Structure 1
Amino acid sequence: MTQPAPRSLRLHIGLFGRRNVGKSSLLNAFTRQQVSIVSDVKGTTTDPVEKPMELLPLGPVLFVDTAGVDDEGALGELRMARTRAVLDRVDLGVIVTEGTSWGEFEAGLLAELQARKVPALVVHNKADLGGDAAPRHPADLPFVAVSALRGMGIPALKEALLRLAPADFFDNRRLVSDLVPPGGLAVLVVPIDKEAPKGRLILPQVMAIRDLLDGESMVMVVQERELRPALARLKEPPALVVTDSQAFLKVAADVPRDVPMTSFSILMSRFQGDLAEQVRGTLGIERLKGGDKVLVAETCGHHPVGEDIGRVKIPRWLTQYVGARLEFEHVQGRDFPEDLTPYGLVVHCGNCTGNRREMLSRIHRAREAGVPLTNYGLTIAYSLGIFERALEPFPAAKALLESTHAAN
């Protein structure tokens, strides 16, 4: 059976607006499914509701139906906070209004989207109620009049979304195949991860295999104990070795020095975030001192087991490198502190289950707060003394590192 596209690779489309303007009804009408609960009671949608689908010819998208952001009371504030968090990860924003209404509230939503450079579309819902008033919104803002209840205007909405989709979203970004020529060989070192369901590989490994096959490259997959004999059997050295970050030291010892080597996590830093910025963030490890707080963030919600990479191994390696006790805090999923200033460092996972816009937003927020943000693989490589080698497949990142060293 063909596997669906991971949510991280889908265009994220957020539905925003006041309570009871018909956001949930609009999503149900567009997807032709009862995705969100619909009621006349204001505030029925309490948490963001996600619906993946194929929006041809664009491809895989993820609709995010949010709670009304004019909610009231303590519970309303919590709903609003969750809704605003969605703003950080959407690639396209849909502002839903009732009829032709447009006021300061909608203008504020538009400003939030524009501040994040997110394309916006206005949908005037409940067009079946009639009225001669002209739609009110900024003249240069695209809009569509629909009736979610009657299914009116849905084809026009689809066309508007296709026109507004960021041109660079499907820009042929490659995870790894641009580092291995067609016909070349990549060796992937894949320890059997206890956190991966039985019979499956973790997502970055699957993504790398598929990307290499799409690039018409050859792939050899081995466990870390098989790497040395596997390399000995080859007539020619591989173009690249990619390892799980947890096996970095053994793999670095087994791979000849003239063979490029990196990790899946570092590949994800380039693919899902900003490798150069995270390389700069990694150098912030040098400024850590005893008692500093380190935030460890991961976007997936796996249950920690055994020697968990984020909760056990990275804290151990960082503490050993700094030579002093550090305080570690952990967040998962969509949870990410608004205020990052209490932290001396943020260590983020590869974000394989998030999307690139959300990762870039987190990197930006850390930079604005003056807090270095790095990545699991980068942190491990730096702590173990193989940072420069892990960056060799990425000339721009390595040059940045060398220039930084020279400046200091």
Structure 2
Amino acid sequence: MNSLNSTPNANRLHIGIYGKRNSGKSSLINALTNQDVALVSDVAGTTTDPVYKAMEVRGLGACVFIDTAGFDDEGELGELRIQKTRQTLPKADIAILIFTDGDFSMETEWLKELKQGGIPVVAVVSKADQTEPAPLLNKIREELHLFPIAVSAADRTGIPQLLQELTRVLPENYGAESITGRLVKEGDVVLLVMPQDREAPKGRLILPQVQTIRDLLDNRCISINATPDTMEAALAALKTPPDLIITDSQAFKTVYEKAPKESRLTSFSVLFAAHKGDLEAFVRGANAVEQLNNQSRVLIAEACTHAPLSEDIGRVKIPALLRKKYGADMDIQVVSGASFPEDLRSYDLIVHCGGCMFNRKYLLSRIARAEDAGVPITNYGVLLAKLNGILDHITL
């Protein structure tokens, strides 16, 4: 199975392409990927909403190119398109900023936003086959202290240099993070306890489980799979207790009571709290749950946009546990996918899912927004460990 089919978008390098309308953003994506994956037109404003293109690029690996609307769009609809473009910034690991002429006041403003977001920027002067790029290249160097690359999508001038520069500015150790590496060593026996209830897709495993199993294999561990009702049989089949037990968070309490004292215990959601987010921030947020009361407002944020089920952990189980412990009239709101309130200050707690459908940069941006608003934030697994009274007894 090739990387295009096997690598989830959340695990791909996200490269945002930003520039004015008809600046050659879509053509540049086609040149970088050597395929016609983006719609190209001479009509300004062809790209409206951001378009995400998953590709495999030599030297960069599995990528997602974000083709955006021009940030010089006009009118009421244009403002909405620019807003959509701006919403891609928290997801971008790297930004390509395209320049087309000597008036780059708009590019300067977007450069500030990109730098404020900590996004490495690669400057490009496009359509180098149509005009002499040297004067514009020099002006950008002198005024913005960038080192732009002259590129032509038509004849692929500058494309090798651009790919080399994208590789150079890759975030340090990008893609090297292991989900379980900080908890296991080669040869460890790991028991995975995975409920197969109505939330589990028929005939397959959910993404965090698949990724964790693959990660354990990469770390040369021995993994054994069980459900909560077969866990005891799995333990009995082992000569010694497993080094680590990883469970679904909703089974935390049951598994904790059955787990050997010699075995460390964690959950898929806790693993992803560290892998995708900020585990220390999530633990602080979970401890803040003790300050909740019947009048508190809680926001539950899901990365997925699936139809809710009767056993749904985010929409059903966590709200029920919170209301049982802190008040039946507690105001609990649920958002999913890209939906996330602009103003978070009215909430007393934010509970986020593991974020397996988001890239790490995007999830970290949500954590930063919550902390800027002074609102504690935690995630499903860490909160469930806290509510079950075992947060101090699990491996973080």
Instruction: Report if TM-score (shorter chain) is over 0.5.
Output: yes
Q: Does structure 2 conserve the Cα–Cα contact (< 8 Å) formed by 1:340 and 1:369?
A: yes
Matches within 5 A, 1:390-405: 390=394, 393-394=395-396
RMSD over aligned Cα atoms: 1.7
Distance 2:302 2:220 in 1: 32
Asked if 1:27 corresponds to 2:29, the answer is: yes
Unaligned segments of structure 2, at least 5 residues: none
Distance 2:57 2:39 in 1: 22
Matches within 5 A, 1:230-379: 230-379=234-383
Deviates more, 1:69-78 or 1:41-50: 69-78
Distance 1:301 1:149 in 2: 39
Asked if 1:143 corresponds to 2:144, the answer is: no
Deviates more, 1:356-365 or 1:77-86: 77-86
* AA partner of residue 161 (structure 1): L
Distance 1:293 1:255 in 2: 35
Secondary structure (helix, strand or coil) at the match of 1:228 reads helix
Question: What residue in structure 1 maps to residue 110 of structure 2?
Answer: 109
Distance 1:79 1:388 in 2: 47
TM-score with structure 1 setting the length: 0.91
The 3 A distance-change label for structure 1 pair 231 and 166 is same
* AA partner of residue 128 (structure 2): A
Q: Does structure 2 conserve the Cα–Cα contact (< 8 Å) formed by 1:195 and 1:303?
A: no
Q: Does structure 2 conserve the Cα–Cα contact (< 8 Å) formed by 1:262 and 1:389?
A: no
Deviates more, 1:189-198 or 1:351-360: 189-198
Secondary structure (helix, strand or coil) at the match of 1:173 reads coil
Distance 1:36 1:56 in 2: 18
Matches within 5 A, 1:150-169: 150-169=155-174
By how many angstroms is 1:196 displaced? 4.3
Q: Does structure 1 conserve the Cα–Cα contact (< 8 Å) formed by 2:30 and 2:37?
A: yes
Question: What residue in structure 1 maps to residue 214 of structure 2?
Answer: 210
Q: Does structure 2 conserve the Cα–Cα contact (< 8 Å) formed by 1:183 and 1:218?
A: yes
The 3 A distance-change label for structure 1 pair 74 and 282 is farther
Q: Does structure 1 conserve the Cα–Cα contact (< 8 Å) formed by 2:199 and 2:311?
A: no
* AA partner of residue 152 (structure 1): T
Secondary structure (helix, strand or coil) at the match of 2:140 reads coil
Q: Does structure 1 conserve the Cα–Cα contact (< 8 Å) formed by 2:187 and 2:221?
A: yes
What do residues 105-156 of structure 1 show as CA deviations (whole Å, max 9, x unaligned)?
1111111111121110111111112236332324432311112233322222
* AA partner of residue 168 (structure 1): N
Distance 1:211 1:160 in 2: 29
Matches within 5 A, 1:157-236: 157-170=162-175, 172-236=176-240
Distance 1:278 1:82 in 2: 28
Distance 2:149 2:364 in 1: 30
Secondary structure (helix, strand or coil) at the match of 2:99 reads strand
Deviates more, 1:379-388 or 1:118-127: 379-388
Q: Does structure 2 conserve the Cα–Cα contact (< 8 Å) formed by 1:195 and 1:302?
A: no
Distance 2:136 2:66 in 1: 28
Distance 1:157 1:63 in 2: 14
Q: What is the percent sequence identity of the aligned residues?
A: 46
* AA partner of residue 6 (structure 2): P
Q: Does structure 1 conserve the Cα–Cα contact (< 8 Å) formed by 2:59 and 2:163?
A: no
Question: What residue in structure 2 maps to residue 10 of structure 1?
Answer: 12
Q: Which runs of 4+ in 1 moved over 4 A?
A: none
Q: Does structure 2 conserve the Cα–Cα contact (< 8 Å) formed by 1:177 and 1:217?
A: no
* AA partner of residue 329 (structure 1): Q
The 3 A distance-change label for structure 1 pair 121 and 208 is same
Secondary structure (helix, strand or coil) at the match of 1:312 reads helix
* AA partner of residue 282 (structure 1): A
The 3 A distance-change label for structure 1 pair 76 and 328 is farther
Secondary structure (helix, strand or coil) at the match of 1:134 reads helix
Distance 2:131 2:70 in 1: 24
Distance 2:18 2:277 in 1: 25
The 3 A distance-change label for structure 1 pair 76 and 284 is farther
Deviates more, 1:77-86 or 1:129-138: 129-138
Q: Does structure 2 conserve the Cα–Cα contact (< 8 Å) formed by 1:289 and 1:324?
A: no
The 3 A distance-change label for structure 1 pair 36 and 57 is closer
